C-alpha cells in the first residue's frame, strides 16, 4: 500500500513562537520516496524499534513512562506498594509493566476441571494499572485459545471474577506490506481490556482443546507476555490569562464547572505543537477542544479546507483533541501518515468492556494508545476517532481531524477510509443512543469533507485480509462495520444492527 507521509518537523517553531500555523491543505501531500526508510525505523521517532530492543528499565527508570520488565512479585494478595519517588511528569505520562507468562500450574479453582496445557501467572501484586492485554512475538501468528484475567482493585482485598479477553485482534492492524506493518516493531496482541484502577492480577492462557477434526491442539504463540498499562493522570485544566474564565474540556454526562485561574499558559512541546498545528484551521494552537459549528458555519469553513464539500456536509461536531484527552505525543511516530481520500468509514467497538464511566474515557484512550504503541508496536493510536458511551467524540490518530489520515483499524482496508471506535463491547449489550448519534454526526461531517454519501455504496480495493484477497475489488456501504471487511465479530452484533440508523441520520445531517 502506498501511504503518504508528512514530517511534523516544520511546526516546531510554532511551539517556540506560540503563533497560529496554517494547516496543510486537505489534499494529500506529496508521496514519499519508495526508497525512504519506514517511519518506524527512524531514530528520531520516540518509542520506535522492535520490542526486543526496548529498554528493560529498573523501577526508578520507569518514571520516563516507558515499558519495563516487571520484577517477580509476591503471589499473596498484599496491598500494592506506594508509588515512591515518582515525579509529576512520570505520573502524567503513565507506564507499562510487561511480565513474561509461565507454564500453568494446577488451576486456582476447581471449576475449570483438570489443568490444560497453557501459560499464565498466579495471583500477584503489581504497581497500579487500569488496562490489561497479552502480546506475543510474531504479529502473523494467531492465538487459538482463550485468555482470561482477574484483578484486584487498588487498596482492596477481594478479587474480580474471571474476565475474557478478546483474542481475535489481528484484524485491527496496519495493512500487509505497509511501512507500519513492516517496521519490525509490530507484535501479535489480544484486544486490550479495561479493568479500572487495580494493583493485583492473575492470568491464564489456554490453547483450543483438541477435537476429532484437530487431534492435536494448536500451540500457543511464542513469547507470551502480560501487559499492565497505567494511563497516568488526567491532563490539568487548561489555564487562562489572569482574571479570565476558562471552561476545560468537558464531557457529556460529566459536566465541569468553569474555573478562574491566573496560571500562565503552558508551553507546548514540539510534538504537541505538531499535532495541534495540523488542526490550526479549526481551532487555536494547543486547543483541547475543536468546537461544534452550525451547518452554515461548517459550509463556510469547508470552502477553505474542502472546497468540494458543499452542499452535502453535516455540521461539524465538537471533538476533544489529543491534547484534551492527554495523549503523550512523545510515544507516537514523529511523522504523520496520510492516504489520498476518505471514501468510507468503518465502525468498530474497542472490545475493552463497558465498565468505564464517561469521566474515565480519556484514561481509557490513553491506555489504548499506550497499548497500541508500546505493547503492540504500532506507530500511533490505531483508530482515526473514538466515541464514548455518552456521545463524546475524540481525535484519534494524529495528523489532523479534517485530513485523510492513514489508520490501522481495518486490515486490508485502511487506504482511503477512516476508522471510528465506539469504546466498549457491544456483542450482547446495546450501544447507547448517544454513541450511535455521535457516529452519525461525525460521519456526516468527515465524509462530507470528501464528498461521500453516508447512504451510498463505494468500491474499495482490498490490501489483503482474512475475508478478501489482495487486489480484490469489493463493493461496500460507505458506512460499514468492521465485519464487512474482515471475518470478525467486530463491531459487535448489537452495534452492527444500529448502522442502518447511523447511515440514515448521517445522510439527513448532510442535507440529503
Of the listed ranges 23-27, 100-104, 270-274, 322-326, the one predicted with least confidence = 23-27
Provide φ and ψ at 300, rounded to 5°: -65, -45
Of the listed ranges 148-152, 174-178, 245-249, the one predicted with least confidence = 245-249
| Sign, CA torsion 124/128/131/134 | negative
| 413 DSSP assignment | -
**CA separation, residue 202 to residues 101, 104, 227, 281 (Å):** 11, 11, 12, 48
pLDDT above 70 covers what percent of the chain? 71
pLDDT for residue 267: 72
Q: Is the pLDDT of residue 58 over 90?
A: no
Determine the Cα–Cα distance for residues 253 and 250; give it in Å rounded to an integer: 9
- 3 state DSSP class of 97: strand
The band of 253, judged by pLDDT with boundaries at 50, 70 and 90, is low
Kindly state the helix (H) or strand (E) to which residue 323 belongs, with its residue range. Answer: helix 322-325
The band of 244, judged by pLDDT with boundaries at 50, 70 and 90, is very low
**CA separation, residue 145 to residues 108, 138, 426 (Å):** 19, 16, 21
Q: Which tens digit of pLDDT belongs to each residue from 70-113?
A: 444 444 433 334 333 344 455 567 999 999 999 997 555 555 44
Q: Which tens digit of pLDDT belongs to each residue from 278-294?
A: 999 999 999 999 999 99
Residue range 57-72: average pLDDT? 40
Provide φ and ψ at 444, rounded to 5°: -60, -40
The band of 449, judged by pLDDT with boundaries at 50, 70 and 90, is very high
Q: Which tens digit of pLDDT belongs to each residue from 1-17?
A: 444 444 444 443 333 33
Burial 46-80 (b: 16+ CB within 10 A, else e): ebbbebeebeeeeeeebbebbbbebeebeeebeeb
Q: Is the pLDDT of residue 310 over 90?
A: no
Q: Is the pLDDT of residue 509 over 90?
A: yes
Determine the Cα–Cα distance for residues 28 and 24; give it in Å rounded to an integer: 9
Q: Which tens digit of pLDDT belongs to each residue from 141-152?
A: 989 999 999 999
Q: Is the pLDDT of residue 164 over 90?
A: yes
Determine the Cα–Cα distance for residues 464 and 469; give it in Å rounded to an integer: 5
| Cis peptide upstream of residue 491 (ω within 30 degrees of 0) | yes
Q: Is the pLDDT of residue 62 over 70?
A: no
Residue range 441-455: average pLDDT? 96
pLDDT for residue 296: 92
pLDDT for residue 242: 44
Q: Is the pLDDT of residue 316 over 60?
A: yes
Q: Is the pLDDT of residue 18 over 60?
A: no
pLDDT for residue 464: 79
Left if phi > 0, otherwise alpha if psi is -120 to 50, otherwise beta: which for 207?
Answer: beta
Q: Is the pLDDT of residue 184 over 50?
A: yes
| 55 DSSP assignment | -
Of the listed ranges 101-115, 306-320, 340-354, the one predicted with least confidence = 101-115
| 33 DSSP assignment | P
List the grid coordinates of 43. 531514530
Measure CA 454 to chain center: 24
Decide the pairing of beta strands 385-387 and 417-422.
parallel
Q: Is the pLDDT of residue 33 over 80?
A: no
List the grid coordinates of 164. 475474557
Residue range 358-378: average pLDDT? 97
Determine the Cα–Cα distance for residues 123 and 111; give it in Å rounded to an integer: 17
Determine the Cα–Cα distance for residues 401 and 266; give it in Å rounded to an integer: 23
Determine the Cα–Cα distance for residues 1 and 343; give it in Å rounded to an integer: 16
pLDDT for residue 31: 39
Determine the Cα–Cα distance for residues 507 and 392; give it in Å rounded to an integer: 20
SS (H, E, C) 131-183: EEEEEECCCCCCCCEEEEEEEEECCCCCECCCEEECCCCCCCCCCCCCCCHHH
pLDDT for residue 129: 98
Determine the Cα–Cα distance for residues 178 and 185; give it in Å rounded to an integer: 13
- 3 state DSSP class of 422: strand
pLDDT for residue 172: 64
Q: Is the pLDDT of residue 235 over 60?
A: yes
Grid look-up 494529500 returns 28
pLDDT for residue 12: 39
pLDDT for residue 212: 66
List the grid coordinates of 78. 498484599
Average pLDDT for the chain: 79
pLDDT for residue 308: 58
Residues 6+ apart with CB under 8 A from 392: 251, 252, 318, 320, 358, 361, 438
**Higher model confidence: residue 202 or residue 309?**
202
Residue ranges in 337-456 assigned as alpha helix (H): 361-370, 433-449
Residue range 445-461: average pLDDT? 95
Q: Which tens digit of pLDDT belongs to each residue from 215-230?
A: 667 899 999 999 999 9
pTM: 0.78
| DSSP per residue, 189-239 | EPPPEEEEEEEEEEEEEEEPPPBTTB-SPPPPPSS-EEEEEE--PPPPPPP
Residue range 336-351: average pLDDT? 95
pLDDT for residue 74: 43
pLDDT for residue 76: 40
Residue range 302-326: average pLDDT? 86
Amino acid at each position: 500500500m502506498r501511504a503518504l507521509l508528512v514530517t511534523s518537523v516544520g511546526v516546531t517553531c510554532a511551539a517556540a513562537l506560540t503563533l497560529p500555523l496554517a494547516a496543510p491543505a486537505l489534499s494529500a501531500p506529496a508521496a514519499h520516496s519508495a526508497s525512504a526508510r519506514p517511519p518506524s525505523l527512524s531514530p528520531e521517532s520516540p518509542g520506535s524499534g522492535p520490542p526486543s530492543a526496548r529498554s528493560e528499565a529498573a523501577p526508578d527508570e520507569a518514571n520516563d513512562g516507558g515499558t519495563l520488565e516487571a520484577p517477580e512479585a509476591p503471589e499473596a494478595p498484599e496491598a500494592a506498594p506506594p508509588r515512591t519517588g515518582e515525579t509529576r511528569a512520570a505520573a502524567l505520562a503513565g507506564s507499562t509493566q510487561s511480565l513474561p507468562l509461565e507454564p500453568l500450574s494446577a488451576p486456582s479453582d476447581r471449576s475449570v476441571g483438570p489443568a490444560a496445557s497453557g501459560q499464565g501467572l498466579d495471583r500477584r501484586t503489581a504497581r497500579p494499572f487500569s488496562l490489561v492485554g497479552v502480546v506475543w512475538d510474531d504479529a502473523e501468528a494467531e492465538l487459538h485459545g482463550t485468555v482470561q484475567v482477574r484483578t484486584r482493585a487498588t487498596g482492596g482485598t477481594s478479587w474480580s471474577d474471571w474476565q475474557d479477553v478478546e483474542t481475535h485482534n489481528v484484524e485491527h492492524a496496519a495493512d500487509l506490506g505497509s511501512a507500519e506493518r513492516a517496521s519490525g516493531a509490530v507484535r501479535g496482541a489480544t484486544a486490550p481490556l479495561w479493568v479500572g484502577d487495580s494493583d493485583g492480577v492473575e492470568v491464564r492462557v489456554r490453547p483450543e482443546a483438541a477435537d476429532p477434526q484437530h487431534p492435536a491442539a494448536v500451540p500457543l504463540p511464542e513469547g507470551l507476555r502480560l501487559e499492565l498499562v497505567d494511563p497516568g493522570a488526567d491532563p490539568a485544566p487548561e489555564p487562562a490569562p489572569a482574571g479570565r474564565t476558562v471552561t476545560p474540556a468537558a464531557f457529556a454526562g460529566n459536566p465541569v464547572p468553569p474555573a478562574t485561574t491566573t496560571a500562565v499558559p503552558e508551553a507546548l512541546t514540539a510534538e504537541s505543537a505538531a499535532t495541534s498545528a495540523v488542526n490550526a484551521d479549526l481551532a487555536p494552537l494547543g486547543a483541547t477542544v475543536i468546537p461544534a459549528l452550525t451547518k452554515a458555519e461548517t459550509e463556510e469553513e469547508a470552502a477553505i479546507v474542502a472546497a468540494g464539500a458543499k452542499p452535502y456536509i453535516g455540521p461539524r461536531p465538537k471533538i476533544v483533541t489529543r491534547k484534551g484527552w492527554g495523549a503523550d505525543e512523545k510515544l507516537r511516530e514523529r511523522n504523520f501518515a496520510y492516504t489520498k481520500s476518505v471514501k468510507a468509514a468503518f465502525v468498530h467497538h474497542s472490545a475493552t468492556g463497558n465498565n468505564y464511566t464517561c469521566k474515565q474515557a480519556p484514561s481509557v484512550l490513553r491506555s489504548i494508545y499506550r497499548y497500541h504503541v508500546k505493547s503492540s508496536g504500532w506507530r500511533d493510536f490505531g483508530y482515526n476517532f473514538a466515541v464514548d458511551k455518552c456521545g463524546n467524540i475524540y481525535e484519534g490518530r494524529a495528523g489532523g481531524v479534517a485530513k485523510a489520515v492513514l489508520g490501522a483499524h481495518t486490515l486490508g482496508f485502511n487506504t482511503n477510509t477512516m476508522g471510528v471506535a465506539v469504546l466498549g463491547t457491544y456483542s450482547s449489550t446495546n450501544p447507547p443512543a448517544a454513541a450511535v448519534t455521535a457516529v452519525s454526526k461525525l460521519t456526516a461531517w468527515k465524509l462530507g469533507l470528501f464528498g461521500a454519501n453516508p447512504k451510498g455504496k463505494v468500491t474499495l480495493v482490498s490490501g489483503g485480509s482474512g475475508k478478501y484477497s489482495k487486489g480484490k475489488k469489493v463493493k461496500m456501504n460507505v458506512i460499514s462495520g468492521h465485519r464487512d471487511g474482515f471475518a470478525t465479530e467486530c463491531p459487535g452484533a448489537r452495534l452492527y444492527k444500529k448502522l442502518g440508523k447511523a447511515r440514515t441520520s448521517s445522510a439527513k445531517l448532510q442535507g440529503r
